[in-house]
Amino acid sequence: MAKLFTKNDNGFVCRACGKEVKPLGYSSRNHCPFCLASLHVDINPGDRACECTGIMYPIGVEPSSKGYIITHKCSVCGKVGRNKSADDDSQHLLIKYTNPYNIPDFTEGKRREK
Ligand SMILES: [Zn+2]
Ligand SMILES: [Zn+2]
């Protein structure tokens, strides 16, 4: 099938963990299923209209009735966004990150206080 690339559901190589991420298929992929990091590329979900392109790291995960809600924070501009988890996200990490003490401090220079 000769189909032009649609911008919203391509695979990509995760800039946080370096793994190759396949297109999600049913929705536009918002974050890496392996490390849950995202990229700051959207102003509104899926529009890819933001030029920041900083890596957005997970800073919190909450269980909800429709899966998990991941809170991301941009390592460049500090913008915080909430996103639904995808079907193939690492369940292990999602469960682990529901406890904020299990989330590594991804931002350099800002060490978590002991
Ligand atoms: Zn990743
Ligand atoms: Zn940003």
9-62 pLDDT tens trace = 578 899 999 999 988 776 778 899 999 999 998 888 778 899 999 999 999 999
- pLDDT above 60: residue 113: no
- Distance in Å, CA 50 to ligand 2 centroid: 8
Using the Cα atoms of residue 83, residue 85, residue 89 and residue 95 in order, give the sign of their dihedral: positive
- Distance in Å, CA 114 to ligand 1 centroid: 26
pLDDT at 106: 78
pLDDT at 29: 81
Alpha-helical segments (H) within 22-72: none
pTM: 0.80
- For residue 108, what are its two tokens? 């350099």
- Distance in Å, CA 25 to ligand 2 centroid: 26
Which ligand number lies closest to the CA of residue 51? 2
* DSSP at 91: H
pLDDT at 107: 65
* DSSP at 111: P
